[in-house]
Amino acid sequence: MLPDAVAFVRSTEEVAALVRLCVAAEVPIIAFGAGTSLEGNVTPVKGGLTIDLSEMNAILEVNQEDFDCTVQAGVRREQLNEHLRDQGLFFPIDPGANATIGGMASTRASGTNAVRYGTMREAILSLRVVTPDGKVIRTARRARKSAAGYDLTRLMIGAEGTLGIITEITLRLHGIPEAISSAVCSFETLKGAVDTVVQSIQIGVPVARIEILDDAQVRACNAYSKLDYPEKTTLLFEFHGSERYVEEQVETVREIAGYNGGGEFLWSNLPEERNRLWKARHEAYYAAVNQRPGAVGWTTDVCVPISRLAECIVETKEDLATSSVPSTILGHVGDGNFHVIFAIDPKRPEEMIEVEALNDRIVARALAMDGTCTGEHGIGLGKQQFLVDELGDAVEMMRLIKRAIDPKDLFNPGKIFQL
Amino acid sequence: MTAPLPNFDRKPLPTGFLDEVRAVVGDRLGTGEAIRLQHGSS
């Protein structure tokens, strides 16, 4: 499923002109950022014109005193953080991939920092959007809060380009913390690890990142990233704040971990140690897939209320143990969001069938716990039936909105739901 | 459950459409197979 053509745009005005052409000619129009999404979110199922926004990569303004900035949609998150570093600011949303800010907005992305700093839903103050009638709108001003009418910003975030094309984003920023420490702790049981997370959050420790890796994922990371962590369920932490406050956080979580069967609590405030740890975390997907030569990766994305997380992961792990397809579990455990990464042999189509059945059960388990089929990847093509299972008649209201805004179904058609 | 996707209708571009797009973005319009493949999935 390829587009008929790809236009590399450089301004909102060019996007608006192309939108008007496409609507007049009834040609499908698909916005494209870095192409790092995971659910077929930008696959042009009806062909048409793909609008590549990667050349709209200017950081338009940084308001240091207001802790915000405005960027074009093609700016990548690493580029933004390099630009902000000298001003003592940072943009915390980190999905792992060096995605574009526009793509992250369109899929309502999040990542390892969400437990402390939220997701793209919280990070965005305002959007500039080219609507299907070719107009350019701004969904809000830079004010930190507003009660001005319908919240069009939140309507566009996660809409996957089905309601318009986001060309500029105004983002909340944060001050770079005075001190940052990272820590690693392995656990005898998965429940002990998850209980450590729940109890740390319950008593108000503002942990900046808490990631969980199951024993299989630790084994894969050790091999891929040349580490030597115990091959047990492991938590990775990061703490932000003043020197003294970070030390307090580390000490509190160390005690909680010990109480829950945690082993040695290895922590460091050295940047090189921290970078080594998070580099390994960001390579976890490749580590998981690399365990099996020639394999391709396939990942799930459920999220449950944190009180149900241990139960959900334990049941999932029992289910995975019955499968012949190698898999690992890792997740943003502070949010209740976890991923299973399958390493599938592409020459064995029966493995894909098996993995889809496993994923069906993972999603059904999460929904039964009042969770969601997607914590951060979006619906795209792959999760449309799950969306109906999750939200029922609410999907019909989404269809009404889509029909009202894009009556010819030209904006990224076939995504999220079928009209 | 993971449901099969429908067959999507695909229509050819209208005559002259690409010329109109080229008038907006000039040579920043790609129609070659490599560039289309690069933008064909995610």
Asked if B40 lies within 8 A of A385 by C-beta distance, the reply is: no
A372 Cα to chain B: minimum distance (Å): 14
Burial of A349 (0-12, 13-18, 19+ CB in 10 A): exposed
The owner of tokens 């979110």 is A41
Contact A73, A167 (CB under 8 A): yes
**What is the pLDDT at residue A57?**
98
Is B2 an interface residue toward A (CB < 8 Å)? yes
3-state helix, strand, coil in chain B (%, to 5): 35, 5, 60
**What is the pLDDT at residue A275?**
87
The CATH code of domain A289-391 reads 3.30.70.2740
Contact A270, A238 (CB under 8 A): no
User: Is B41 a residue whose pLDDT tops 80?
Assistant: no
The owner of tokens 């907005």 is A105
Measured CA distances, A392 to A367, A385, A389, A419 (Å): 12, 10, 6, 15
The arrangement of strands across the sheet holding A209-213 comes to A266-268, A179-187, A233-241, A209-213, A327-332, A337-344, A296-299
Confidence of residue A97 (pLDDT cuts 50, 70, 90): confident
Tell me how far apart the alpha carbons of residues A244 and A373 are, in angstroms, rounded to a whole number: 39
Closest partner CB to B40 (pick from A3, A25, A27): A3
Is B4 an interface residue toward A (CB < 8 Å)? no
Contact A45, A413 (CB under 8 A): yes
The CATH code of domain A179-286 reads 3.30.70.2190
A342 Cα to chain B: minimum distance (Å): 16
User: Is A40 a residue whose pLDDT tops 90?
Assistant: no
Asked if A27 lies within 8 A of B3 by C-beta distance, the reply is: no
* DSSP H or E run through A351: helix A349-368
Our CA angle for A49, A31, A171, nearest 5°, is 160
Chain B residues inside the 8 Å CB shell of A25: 13-14, 17, 20
Confidence of residue A390 (pLDDT cuts 50, 70, 90): very high
How many CA atoms lie less than 13 Å away from A20 in the CB half-sphere? 10
B32-39 CB contacts, 8 Å cutoff, 24+ apart: B33/A2, B35/A6, B36/A2, B36/A3, B36/A4, B36/A5, B36/A6, B37/A2, B38/A6, B38/A35, B39/A2, B39/A3, B39/A6, B39/A32, B39/A35, B39/A42, B39/A44, B39/A50, B39/A52
Pick among B7, B8, B33 to test the A interface (most A CBs inside 10 A): B8
User: Is A369 a residue whose pLDDT tops 90?
Assistant: yes
Confidence of residue A165 (pLDDT cuts 50, 70, 90): very high
User: Is B5 a residue whose pLDDT tops 90?
Assistant: no
DSSP tag of A100? B
ipTM greater than 0.90: yes
Q: Closest by alpha carbon to A194, among A238, A257, A267?
A: A257
The owner of tokens 């455990």 is A333
Helices (H), ranges, chain B: 17-25, 33-38
Measured CA distances, A341 to A90, A299, A328, A334, A358 (Å): 29, 5, 5, 19, 12
Is B15 an interface residue toward A (CB < 8 Å)? no
Confidence of residue A111 (pLDDT cuts 50, 70, 90): confident
A290-310: average pLDDT: 93
Is B1 an interface residue toward A (CB < 8 Å)? yes
Tell me how far apart the alpha carbons of residues A69 and A83 are, in angstroms, rounded to a whole number: 11
Confidence of residue B3 (pLDDT cuts 50, 70, 90): low
Asked if B25 lies within 8 A of A14 by C-beta distance, the reply is: yes
Closest partner CB to B36 (pick from A6, A40, A55): A6
Burial of A96 (0-12, 13-18, 19+ CB in 10 A): middle
Domain A289-391 in the same topology as domain A179-286? yes
* Domain locations along chain A: 5-175, 179-286, 289-391
Contact A197, A252 (CB under 8 A): no
The CATH code of domain A5-175 reads 3.30.465.10
Chain A residues inside the 8 Å CB shell of B18: 5
Chain B residues inside the 8 Å CB shell of A18: 21, 24-25
Confidence of residue A222 (pLDDT cuts 50, 70, 90): very high
User: Is B1 a residue whose pLDDT tops 70?
Assistant: no
